[in-house]
Structures are given as structure tokens and as C-alpha cells.
């Protein structure tokens, strides 16, 4: 059976995994489960794992929300990669091949709203929340879509992954 054990073995062999999910909010639970499972393998405490899962969920929600006007939605790609001391998660919206990808503000341009409660209700809290939950955030927009890259510092591997 190709369950979560196979996915973890793949990460150990290759240093990463990619999952493409439909651009629908209902599929976020699958992404959250995968990120939680992969994060448990690293030297992260439970609170840090939950922060990472929430950050990835918010990034996915932002990507899904930013494409509501797309005529032909494409999958959201979530990539997990690891180095000895970090985990990097990239959430990519692949809506457009024609350069009309939704713009992603840089982390320097994101300002915390004066009323976070109202911002949360209006769906404007995602990127500020991601910035608060992970160690590093970068974003880009281009002809192949928009991406949010999140990095979380982890303890060193206890052993090298099997290659």
C-alpha cells in the first residue's frame, strides 16, 4: 500500500515531495495532514508543527482565494523540501501561463491590519499570519503563477537520509 510510509521514504531518498491538489478549500485538509506528518520527522516541538501547518494552510487559502476569478483553475502545488537544518514549503498557484497571475506582495509590503479580527473575517489576514508563524517568507509572481516560499529552521538531522 502506498500510504504515508511510502511518502516519508520518498522524502528521505529525494529530500522532498510535491503534491498537486485542486484549487478548492476542501482539499486543504490533505495538505495539512501531509505537512504535519512530514514536520513530525524533524526536531520541531508540537507548537512549532502546528504553527507550520497553520502557515501552510493560510498560504494555500490565500492562493485558492486569489484565483476565484480564474476561468480554468489549475491545481495548487505544494512542495516540501529539506536540508540538514531547514524545511522549505512552497505553495504555488499555477493559474496562468499567460502572465496574468495574481500579484503577491513581498513580505516587506505586507502590513499588519489595524483590526486583525475584521481582517480575518474579510480574508485579509493570511499573509501577515504566515509571516508571523515561520522563520522566512518570500513570494514571487510570474507567467507561471504565484508562489509563497516558507522556511522553518529545524534541528540537524539525526542521521543522513538514505540516498
Give domain limits for the chain: 9-153
Please list the residues that pair with 141 across neighbouring strands: 146
- The confidence score (pLDDT) of residue 163 equals 43
Closest CA to 138 of 149, 151, 124, 122: 149
Alpha carbon distance 92, 108 (integer Å)? 20
Alpha carbon distance 48, 93 (integer Å)? 25
Phi then psi dihedrals of residue 112, to 5 deg:
-65, 130
Predicted model pTM: 0.73
Rg, Å, the chain Cα set: 16
- The confidence score (pLDDT) of residue 113 equals 62
> Could you tell me the three cell numbers for 111?
502590513
- The confidence score (pLDDT) of residue 40 equals 87
List C-alpha distances in Å: 118 to 30, 112, 113, 123, 153. Answer: 28, 12, 9, 9, 31
Q: What is the pLDDT of residues 57-72, one digit of tens each?
A: 888 877 666 655 555 5
- The confidence score (pLDDT) of residue 101 equals 46
- The confidence score (pLDDT) of residue 151 equals 94
Residue spans of the chain under pLDDT 50: 1-2, 97-102, 160-163
Which stretch of DSSP H or E encloses residue 11?
helix 4-14
- The confidence score (pLDDT) of residue 32 equals 92
DSSP for residue 161: P
- The confidence score (pLDDT) of residue 1 equals 37
- The confidence score (pLDDT) of residue 88 equals 93
Q: Quick one: CATH architecture of 9-153?
A: 2-Layer Sandwich (3.30)
Amino acid at each position: 500500500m502506498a500510504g504515508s510510509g511510502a511518502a516519508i521514504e520518498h522524502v528521505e531518498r529525494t529530500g522532498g515531495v510535491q503534491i498537486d491538489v485542486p484549487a478548492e478549500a476542501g482539499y486543504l485538509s490533505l495538505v495539512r495532514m501531509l505537512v504535519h506528518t512530514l514536520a513530525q520527522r524533524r526536531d520541531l516541538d508540537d507548537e512549532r508543527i502546528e504553527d507550520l501547518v497553520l502557515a501552510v494552510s493560510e498560504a494555500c487559502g490565500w492562493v485558492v482565494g486569489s484565483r476565484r476569478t480564474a476561468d480554468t483553475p489549475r491545481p495548487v502545488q505544494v512542495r516540501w523540501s529539506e536540508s540538514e537544518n531547514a524545511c522549505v514549503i512552497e505553495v504555488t498557484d499555477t493559474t496562468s501561463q499567460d502572465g496574468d497571475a495574481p500579484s503577491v506582495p513581498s513580505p516587506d509590503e505586507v502590513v499588519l491590519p489595524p483590526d486583525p479580527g475584521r481582517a480575518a473575517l474579510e480574508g485579509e489576514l493570511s499573509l501577515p499570519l504566515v509571516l508571523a508563524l515561520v522563520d522566512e517568507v518570500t513570494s514571487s509572481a510570474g507567467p507561471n503563477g504565484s508562489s509563497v516560499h516558507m522556511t522553518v529552521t529545524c534541528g540537524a538531522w539525526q542521521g543522513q537520509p538514505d540516498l
